[in-house]
Chains A and B, each alone.
Chain A
């Protein structure tokens, strides 16, 4: 008689588990922390050469693995849910002693001198880090095609993009090369890749999560957040990283905004005017079917109007490059980063920046320099800032009538590499997601189904925005979508 396999054929592989499942299995002593780590590393070695989700795979931190195991053994159920869970971290989040390149030649050899606050918090829970994931350079892009170290492929169809800028984190989780991951979101960089790879992606309320140790792109827009397989996992990761931080004065205390608690049946605002054109027919159909099902489940659909949303992307493409050109001015090669010597100090700066930055980064720096230059600042920057205020007011007003506002996360499913060659068509990828960054409100993308392209099932996402500090409402509606 042959030896019985301990693993049933329909049983999930370790690396395919969610945070919840893995935490339960570790506590039940079904597997060890080392087993879980090894399963993820094995999957990475098998699939990362094809997908390029990770830029670097970290060697096992044996002390951290042992400490996590010991904590589970001694604390049992009281151990944090993330204890011993292997995570992927976007390459713009600092882990002390590790390279953090933001997928740029400029920071190719930059080694972080301290932990980002989110990393410090995750280390305290006993979470483990598998490696740093690919992204569009300095988080500027919606496809990872702008990475200085090669594009990342979408695991659902490798001829297509995984979205961006957190495309490496998304591909890593979608292909089960990590249990979950952190990304950053300035205009949709967590939610759009989550939608295109069939994951849950959360952009928290501006100020909910510390930006200390996040390589800055647009400081008034950036937030770190989770990319996970389920809404429950997104909540676990979000709860672990959030909180006021003395190292980031834009972080906010609990209860700063008066937000209602989620109720069983939610009022869902649908801005129909915005959905009239531009959306792929199959995406629209999937979205309408989901709304119908949510209504049947007892939620209410409410027509709302957000007229300024039509101008949100235009405002974003003024404010964001302005902040990019300001933030990236610090990168001159002198104190750290790519350095190229010239005859004068000015030549040092110019050579280092010209060689260090990729095309899209330079484009946005130039655009930002333009909109901030005297003579244009009133026409562009001040106008965009005003549009941002109006947009926020419109959202605030709508939230007196509804609990969440919904639309599809993206106009279409994942596109093919090279399909969005001109910058403007790539920028339009963010048309729905940018509003949450401009208003500072939390937003989530949850898988709503698949559409077929070239015989392959491609995931698409439904997007919900809640009032400031309304993450619990997002988790409630997200869970409702998952149940359908």
Chain B
């Protein structure tokens, strides 16, 4: 049985926010979905499951020639939320004597 607190915790773990109205909805839907997938409990599992597992095979390969440096730089950098030159710019997260939560506000550079 899922509770509203459970769903809140899952949302925090998944780096998402769920509004109060949606919390109640998700929680009741979770109960129905988990009751359905709970039927797996009835399965009698044989001890040796190797027979059904896909065969393991070596997928290692020799390194190929890498593409020329800079080929994709501009295309990738264009998509950054904020950039400084060709660098991706993010908030500072560690400062001497200061905790993560009190990191300074981020100033957009572009």
**What is A's interface to B at a CB cutoff of 8 Å?**
110-111, 113-114, 246, 249-250, 256, 308, 311, 313-315, 317-318, 325, 329, 332-337, 339, 341, 343-346, 348-351, 353-354, 357, 359, 362-363, 365-367, 369-371, 373, 379-380, 383-384, 386-393, 396, 422-424, 427, 440
Are A346 and B32 within 8 A (Cβ)? no
Contact with A along B39-74 (1 / 0, CB 8 A): 111110110010111100101010010000000100
A348 contact set on B, CB distance < 8 A: 81, 91, 106
8 A Cβ contacts from B9-64 to A: 10-11, 13-18, 22, 26, 29-30, 32-34, 36-43, 45-46, 49, 51-54, 57, 59, 61, 64
Tell me how many residues of B have a C-beta within 8 Å of chain A: 54
Tell me which of A311, A369, A440 contacts B39 (CB under 8 A).
Answer: A311
Tell me which of A313, A335, A350, A440 contacts B79 (CB under 8 A).
Answer: A335
Q: How many A-B residue pairs have CB under 8 A?
A: 154
A366-B10, A367-B30, A424-B33 are known contacts. Are A336 and B80 too (CB-CB below 8 A)?
Answer: yes
List 13 contacting pairs A-B, 8 Å CB cutoff, sorted by A. A111-B79, A311-B40, A314-B38, A335-B88, A344-B101, A350-B16, A362-B18, A370-B34, A386-B49, A387-B43, A390-B46, A422-B29, A424-B29
Distance, CA A380 to CA B43, complexed state (A): 12
Distance, CA A474 to CA B108, complexed state (A): 55
Residue of A nearest to B29 (CB): A423
Are A113 and B93 within 8 A (Cβ)? no
Distance, CA A393 to CA B16, complexed state (A): 39
Are A318 and B40 within 8 A (Cβ)? yes
A345-B103, A383-B41, A389-B51 are known contacts. Are A354 and B29 too (CB-CB below 8 A)?
Answer: no
A335 contact set on B, CB distance < 8 A: 76, 79-81, 88
Given contacts A246-B64, A392-B52, 7 further A-B pairs with CB under 8 A are A335-B80, A353-B15, A367-B33, A383-B40, A383-B45, A391-B52, A424-B32
A393 contact set on B, CB distance < 8 A: 51-52
Are A387 and B33 within 8 A (Cβ)? no
A311-B40, A389-B49, A391-B52 are known contacts. Are A423 and B15 too (CB-CB below 8 A)?
Answer: no
Distance, CA A329 to CA B16, complexed state (A): 10
Distance, CA A250 to CA B15, complexed state (A): 29
Tell me which of A113, A250, A317, A380 contacts B72 (CB under 8 A).
Answer: A113
Are B43 and A308 within 8 A (Cβ)? yes
Distance, CA A315 to CA B52, complexed state (A): 15
B15 contact set on A, CB distance < 8 A: 329, 332, 346, 349-350, 353
Distance, CA A363 to CA B30, complexed state (A): 9
Are B16 and A365 within 8 A (Cβ)? yes
Majority DSSP secondary structure for residues of A touching B:
helix
Least distance between B90 CB and chain A CB atoms (Å):
6
Residue of B nearest to A110 (CB): B79
B110 at the A interface (CB under 8 A): no
Distance, CA A114 to CA B76, complexed state (A): 10
Residue of B nearest to A425 (CB): B32
B75 at the A interface (CB under 8 A): yes
A359 contact set on B, CB distance < 8 A: 22
B105 at the A interface (CB under 8 A): yes
B34 contact set on A, CB distance < 8 A: 370
B78 at the A interface (CB under 8 A): yes
Interface centre among B7, B37, B75, B78, by most chain A C-beta atoms within 10 angstroms, is B37
Distance, CA A366 to CA B33, complexed state (A): 12
A334-B81, A350-B17 are known contacts. Are A384 and B40 too (CB-CB below 8 A)?
Answer: yes
A373 contact set on B, CB distance < 8 A: 10, 13
Tell me which of B10, B29, B40, B52 contacts A369 (CB under 8 A).
Answer: B10
Are B30 and A311 within 8 A (Cβ)? no
Distance, CA A363 to CA B10, complexed state (A): 10
Least distance between B57 CB and chain A CB atoms (Å):
8
A329 contact set on B, CB distance < 8 A: 14-15
Tell me which of A353, A384, A423 contacts B33 (CB under 8 A).
Answer: A423
Tell me which of B36, B64, B101, B106 contacts A341 (CB under 8 A).
Answer: B106
Are B37 and A317 within 8 A (Cβ)? yes
